[in-house]
Amino acid sequence: ATKSLLGELNGGGASRPHVMFIPSAGMGHLLPFFRFIASLARHDDDVDISVVTVLPTVSAAEADHFSGLFAAFPRVRRVDFPSHDRDPFIVRWEALRRSAHLIGPLIAGAAPRVSAVITDVTLTSHVIPIAKKLGVQCHVLFISCATIKKAEQGPGAGVGAVDIPGVRRIPESCLPQPLLDLNKQFTKQFIDNGRENINADGILVNTFDALEPAALAALRDGKVVPGFPFPPVYAIGPLRSVVDKEDSSSSSPVVAWLDKQPARSVVYVAFGNRSAVSHAHIREIAAGLEASGCRFLWVLKTTKVDRDDTAELTDVLGEGFLERLHQQQGQGQGQHGMVTKEWVDQEALLKHASVGLYLSHSGWNSVTEAAAAGVPLLAWPRGGDHRVNHWSWDGEDWLVTGEEIAEKVKEVMSDAAVRARATRTGEEAAMAVAEGGTSYRSMQQFVSSLKKAT
Ligand code: UDP
Ligand code: UDP
């Protein structure tokens, strides 16, 4: 409806100007951009407008305002910044890496003098060279299992198969998809970090000898990179919580609910802290849990970043589901269920006597917590490298039906052999970290290596 000022000025003959906005981040920067873009769009519809949108945004408010702008002005083109990873956690790693040059002075200036640095596997290619230059030991705390992977350059441009010496060879088709593209920054960093690992002074792994004997033996036997000595591998897990808590969480409604359930009767359902579950899957899980006839405690997250998770349980699950749970509870019927969106103390919950099974995305921390608690784990690998364990890759989100979920849950809940194995794993975990155990001794060796270097 607006008049074309430019059209008038140019006598109608000139070509349409196209303005591309490249805003920065922060609401204080974005709001004036959004407002100016709106003002220009209202002023003259003979100007083409594009807005470069860096994904992900830093805050939920930014995301909302971007959506608001594009909704209000459909003709304003949205140009997604292509080189950026959408995953906010990867963006944070990137930011850390780009500031890596500041780590040297930080280490050098610390008092008392730093004798060793311990870093994350996503940062090794930057941190290890800096530590070496300063004559400081550098160890890697590996947050996943002991199956540290060795990437081989395959024929052509691909990554090729990945050999896990002493364990198995994973064909390229089973690797996480983001790792197949060697041009991706993430893949390059992943490979750089992998190569740098052999220069570490030690690798600390959250595992224990009885849990991964083959992988640990292979790592210690120098089979990983033939001809190169692999750093000492310290299996120091399962790592336990920061505070020793006897009943620090007993006041929570979740624990109060668990207290009322019979021993080993509850299926604990959780998919880690950053695995968003699609709404379609949530409905299948709900149907599956209901059909299994088992009691369940479901920690439900619908987004990757908790602050983005504003969905109401009733909207996600449907009124009927929650109503039926409450009714059953009221009538004292067999099945009781609880769904929460809160952050729970999962490590403590898994140790609760009422928990009989963990339906898990099998993130490594969760696996070690289940192992320590002696709770059987029904693995549902969902993303990242989790599906390497699965031997197949069926696209980003394939639907597992409620019937399948119910069937598997019932099967594992009633399997005495599985339960016995899980109990034994729990005992082995306790032995590993107890005085004189394998993980205890690994920790001793690690500490004495630090003392030798100081
Ligand atoms: N603003 C807003 N709602 C808020 C916070 C900020 O609309 O909850 C707007 C505020 O009106 C201003 C802009 O965001 O136009 C920048 O706010 P501020 O100066 O606090 O942010 P900074 O520039 O420090 O990022
Ligand atoms: N966790 C928790 N409460 C929650 C969600 C997650 O304590 O509400 C903990 C969980 O016990 C585990 C970690 O967060 O220690 C998640 O790590 P994991 O390796 O299992 O999976 P990721 O979230 O990294 O995929």
Q: What distance in angstroms lies between residue 196's CA and the mean position of ligand 1's atoms?
A: 43
- What average pLDDT does the structure give for the chain? 84
- Below-70 pLDDT ranges, the chain: 1-14, 82-86, 147-168, 177-178, 245-250, 274-275, 305, 307-308, 329-335, 383-398
pLDDT score at 391: 38
The per-residue pLDDT for 249 is: 52
Under DSSP, the state recorded for 218 is: H
For ligand 1, atom 3, name the residue with the nearest CA: 27
Gap from CA of 437 to ligand 2 centroid (Å): 26
Tell me what pLDDT residue 93 has: 79
Backbone φ and ψ of 308, nearest 5°: -85, -10
Catalytic site residue 46?
no
Length of the chain: 454
What is the pLDDT at residue 417? 98
Best mutation site among 206, 365, 367, 386 for ligand 2, i.e. most ligand atoms within 8 A of its Cβ?
365
Task: Indicate the helix (H) or strand (E) that contains 297.
Answer: strand 295-299
pLDDT value of residue 280 = 87
Mutate to test the pocket of ligand 2, among 366, 367, 369 (most ligand atoms within 8 A of CB): 366
Distance between CA 266 and CA 350 in Å, rounded?
10
Cβ proximity of 405 and 285 under 8 Å:
yes
The residue nearest atom 22 of ligand 2, judged by CA position, is 272
Residue 112, preceding peptide bond in cis (omega within 30° of 0): yes
Q: Distance, CA 38 to ligand 1 centroid (Å)? A: 18
pTM of the model: 0.78
pLDDT at 395: 44
pLDDT, residue 258, reads: 95
Q: Burial letters for 410-427: b for 16+ Cβ neighbours within 10 Å, e otherwise?
A: bebbeeeebbeebeebbe
Is 29 catalytic? The answer is: yes
Q: Which residues line ligand 2 (CB under 6 A)?
A: 272-275, 299, 343-347, 363-366, 369
Whose C-alpha lies nearest to ligand 1, atom 12? Answer: 28
Residue with the smallest CA separation from ligand 2 atom 15 is: 365
Report the pocket of ligand 1 as residue ranges, CB < 6 Å.
26-28, 31
Q: What is the pLDDT of residues 343-364, one digit of tens each?
A: 899 999 999 999 999 999 998 9
- Best CA proximity match to 90, nearest among 186, 215, 198, 196: 186
Assess contact for 349 and 254: CB atoms under 8 A: yes
Contact 296, 349 (CB under 8 A): no
